[in-house]
Amino acid sequence: MSPNNKIYVAGHRGMVGSAIVRRLERAGYDNIVTRTSRELDLRNQAAVAEFFATEQPEYVFLAAAKVGGILANNTYRGEFLYDNLLIEANVIEAARVHGVTKLQFLGSSCIYPKMAPQPLTEDALLTGPLEETNEPYAIAKITGIKLCDAYRSQYGCDFISVMPTNLYGPNDNYDLQSSHVLPALIRKFHEAKKENKPEVVMWGTGSPKREFLHADDLADACVFLMQEFSDYGFVNVGTGEDLSILSLAQTIKEVVGYEGEITHDLSKPDGTPRKLMNVDKLHSMGWSHDIGLKEGIERVYANLEDQDWY
């Protein structure tokens, strides 16, 4: 992949896609093609085929998806499965038909079995039942991995898959009904500080452990893997470090400067007890993350002026 190649970033307005665009532009790639969801509905097979026929991209980063946290995943189970299946199938098939040189499919760490041994290694895929609350989304992402592998096997397509850990960064979703835990906690602590609330209520016990990667680090890994990885299966992308949700909340509380208490709503689910990625495969290729968690949260919190709740 060189700076003059035409590169399509699907999902360029999302947290991951926008980070990939920023990373490419910093490296001098200036032939990037994008479309908003209003301009191109990736669930529409004919529209996607027409787009690929017209634009003829040489490289594709497939970062478009319907995403959300525990509540959204569990509430909109049909939409999360149907929409994500359509998006990935349409883009991957169009990439095959129109001779894309290389495609990278972005998945999610929720593909792993709920009780898989920790840290999660790539070969743990499909070794046990999934976490129930986000099973439809996970099944869609597993299908994307297998579709890339099947196209590599049958058609010789250089289609690869990348599995990021939990992400945060610019262009994150802060809607309390559909966001992931880190942005939701940033918003809760900020609003509690602004309104002088005596407490911030966390979902669950706070005991589950999670790993968090800044989106800019993921984007750097994605560009690295587009250059360095061509094989079946997928590569975990993470930090190899985790912490409890309660510890995360305490870190965010400190960054925000909130002085009240943290309490727990035990009627809400905890989700998977632990979800730490084994990143030995990625480290062995020569890549590791750069942005520490507290530093990353400070960066995010310092740039929230565009949020209407800020």
- Helices and strands of the chain, counted as H and E runs: 10, 13
Closest CA to 10 of 83, 103, 73, 99: 103
pLDDT for the residue 78: 95
pLDDT for the residue 216: 98
Spans of the chain below 50 pLDDT: none
pLDDT for the residue 285: 98
pLDDT for the residue 280: 98
pLDDT for the residue 297: 98
pLDDT tens sequence across 201-239:
998 999 999 999 999 999 999 999 999 999 999 999 999
Q: Which are the contacts of 139, defined by CB distance < 8 A and separation ≥ 6?
A: 81, 130
Is 137 part of the annotated catalytic residue set?
yes
pTM to 2 decimals? 0.94
Q: Residues marked as binding for substrate?
A: 188, 203, 210, 270
DSSP string, 199-248: EEEEES-S--EE-EEEHHHHHHHHHHHHHH--SSSEEEES-S--EEHHHH
Q: Residues marked as binding?
A: 11-17, 106-109, 141, 164-167, 180, 188, 203, 210, 270
pLDDT for the residue 257: 97
Residues in the chain: 310
pLDDT for the residue 130: 94
> Candidates 3.30.1360.170, 3.30.2310.20, 3.40.50.720, 3.30.40.230; correct CATH number of 7-171+212-240+275-292?
3.40.50.720
pLDDT for the residue 73: 80
Q: Which residue of the set 8, 137, 168, 258 is catalytic?
A: 137
Tokens of 256: 């925000």
pLDDT for the residue 275: 84
